Chain A
Amino acid sequence: MLGRSLFRKEIRENTLKFLFGVLLLGALALIITTPAASGPYPQSFFSRQDNLPGMETNLDKSPETAQKTLFSHFWKQWNSKGLALAGILVSIILGAGVFAQEKAKGTLFFLASTPLSRRNIYDTKVAAGLVLLFACIIGTTLLLILFTSFYGISLPVLPFVIGAFSAFCGLAVIYQVTIIFSILTDDPLKAGAASAFLSSLLSIPGLFEGGQKYSLLLQMQSRNSTLEEPFSWFFFLLMAALFFALRHLGLWLCYREEI
């Protein structure tokens, strides 16, 4: 069960961090969209390619291919550069202070001395952070779709939202990892740094042949649910399993550390 008033407090306390995330990802959405202003897509896109030295000039320039290439371009820009990288930063910023900041300010004792159980406190804090993270990721993805529509490009909403959700699942795991470090230290900076380091380790499998599907970063880029490839549940199930395992670890640490 979640503590209603604690949930409201968490949302309010993290509003600035949420706004930072929206601004960061919103700015990225704008940066990704802005080149479209230079001319009608996808024609200008192909004309620039024609001018590149060594570029084949007999590319398939059919409207379907052009459309597909255009969507793919936006997909890679947004999912690889926007959500997967900037999203990690946002989830670490949201998670680093969850317990560490309360410990540093001495408010955790006040919270613990209320009738809320440690489970209540932990789950409520995680839920509030996830709501903000979700709103930030999905919201800015919709913002990207809105920005592109200003230039006459209609990106397919559903695949982009599914791709964003895929990134959110990976970010939720990183958020849990950050919270675990936040339980162990009373310095949000240390918790964030430790989480960033561990999150980078979770991407190491992607460096090896056949390990791509176990790489957190690569999976968050939604390669298995891109416009071209068939949708796969594997990543979602893996992230769900990791998330709940980390939640149990976090809760166990809360009791062990007597927060």
Chain B
Amino acid sequence: MRNVFIMDFAVATAGLTKKYSFKTVLKDITLQIPKGKVFALLGPNGSGKTTFLKLISGLTRPSAGEGFCLGLNIATQGEEIRRSACFVSEEPRFYDFLTVQELLRFCRDLYPRWNSRFLDEHFKIFNIPIGEKIKNLSHGTRKQLALLIALAPEPELLFLDEPAAGFDPIFRRRFLNTALEKTIGEGKTVVIASHQLHEIERVADQIVFLREGQVLEHTSLQKIKANMKQIKVVFQTEPPSSLFTMEGILDVNRRENTFYIKVNRNIEAVWQACSRLPRFAMELTNLSLEEIYFYLMDNKREGDENNARPQSF
């Protein structure tokens, strides 16, 4: 990859592949994560989200392909990457015998920068007992602590692996807001791997859908939501089957006389065709990220010519 190109993005990968023994966990991932954006990785368990985060943070080496994170080679410059990119894992584990304060001291010495003022402020907001031993902290408090420890070195890039899994909506929102205020507010980049589609829909700029270690779709949230619509129509009579073979129709669901038609292009023509038929009601709705996610995961197959390709969105 060209140097200029590498420096333009927070992360740039080409043909990134990871194999463990005989199992290919990630296959031929080529994508770019722009700087200053919230980038979400979506996919079911085992789709390779965490492996991708580990690869681009230099925690594990690629079996094939190459990648650059903040202009640094992920295969050879892991330590340098982790000075400017911090990782919050799904289940953060710390040394139980240390107190919170001792853990902070331990971490402070490892990073070139450390914002103690930010920590002091947020320890009060999150109500984290600084003198308490780690082993006495609840799961939620540990996770908050992990986030604060990841934000204190003022990273250029923040990796969040299932950042708020298992938490109530209020906690989830507060957790993500803290992460985003400190990073996006300062022009930094956040990469989130998550199942929390509602939260992702609220915060993400760009999305990658992964399944079985491969990219199904890489697009901006705005674009995919603008281009992927659903026409809900209740016909008075049975519609002709030719209607559903029109170009741009992705999927048709029928519940009695109501038809839910998912369209990703040629929307105007499909709408006109439906409106020419006798009907009781018809409306055009936006799809939620959750609906798009389920559609992609259920329907899109590699090399399926009838399905939309990434560029079509």
List residues of A whose CB falls within 8 A of some B CB.
3-6, 8-9, 12-13, 105-107, 109-110, 112-117, 120, 258
Contacts and interface: CB of A to CB of B under 8 A. Distances in A.
Contacts of A4: 109
Given A3-B109, A117-B79, 10 more contacts: A9-B106, A13-B95, A106-B93, A110-B92, A113-B57, A113-B86, A115-B79, A116-B79, A117-B78, A258-B59
Interface string B30-70: 00000000000000000000000000010111000000000
B171 interface: no
B111 interface: yes
B118 interface: no
Nearest to B53: A113
A115 B114 CA distance: 13
Given A3-B110, A5-B106, A9-B95, A110 B89 contact: yes
Contacts of A113: 57, 59, 82, 86-87, 89
B97 A12 contact: yes
Question: Which 4 interchain pairs have the tightest Cβ spacing?
Answer: A106-B93, A5-B109, A113-B87, A115-B83
Interface of chain B: mostly helix, strand, loop or mixed: loop
Nearest to A109: B89
Given A116-B79, A117-B79, A105 B110 contact: no
B290 interface: no
B276 to A, nearest CB: 59
Contacts of A117: 78-79
Interface of B: 57, 59-61, 78-80, 82-83, 86-87, 89, 91-98, 105-111
B59 A112 contact: yes
Contacts of B110: 3, 5-6, 114-116
Nearest to B87: A113
A111 B105 CA distance: 14
B57 A106 contact: no
Contacts of A13: 95, 97
**Which of B59, B89, B94, B106 has the most chain A CB atoms closer than 10 A to its own CB?**
B106
Given A113-B82, A115-B79, A107 B94 contact: yes
Contacts of B97: 12-13
B91 A106 contact: yes
A156 B71 CA distance: 62
Interface of chain A: mostly helix, strand, loop or mixed: helix
Contacts, number: 57
Contacts of A109: 59, 89, 93
B3 to A, nearest CB: 23
A170 B78 CA distance: 35
19 contacts: A9-B95, A13-B95, A105-B93, A106-B91, A107-B93, A107-B95, A109-B59, A109-B89, A109-B93, A113-B59, A113-B86, A114-B82, A114-B107, A114-B110, A115-B83, A116-B79, A116-B110, A120-B79, A258-B60
Contacts of A5: 105-110
A114 B152 CA distance: 13
A115 B82 contact: yes
A59 B98 CA distance: 61
Contacts of B83: 115
Contacts of A6: 106, 110
Nearest to B88: A113
Contact of A105 (B78, B89, B96): B96
Contacts of A115: 79-80, 82-83, 110-111
A3 B91 CA distance: 24
A258 B91 CA distance: 19
B139 to A, nearest CB: 13
Contacts of B106: 5-6, 8-9
B98 A9 contact: yes
Nearest to A116: B110
Nearest to A117: B79
Nearest to B84: A115
A110 B93 contact: yes
A116 B61 CA distance: 16
Contacts of B105: 5
A98 to B, nearest CB: 14
A9 B94 CA distance: 12
A112 B89 CA distance: 12
**Which of A105, A113, A116, A117 has the most chain B CB atoms closer than 10 A to its own CB?**
A113
**Which of A105, A112, A115, A258 has the most chain B CB atoms closer than 10 A to its own CB?**
A115
Contacts of B107: 5, 114
B109 to A, nearest CB: 4
A112 B98 CA distance: 18
A166 B116 CA distance: 47
B85 to A, nearest CB: 9
A18 B82 CA distance: 33
A13 B94 CA distance: 13
Nearest to A8: B106
A112 B82 CA distance: 9
A14 to B, nearest CB: 11
Nearest to A15: B97
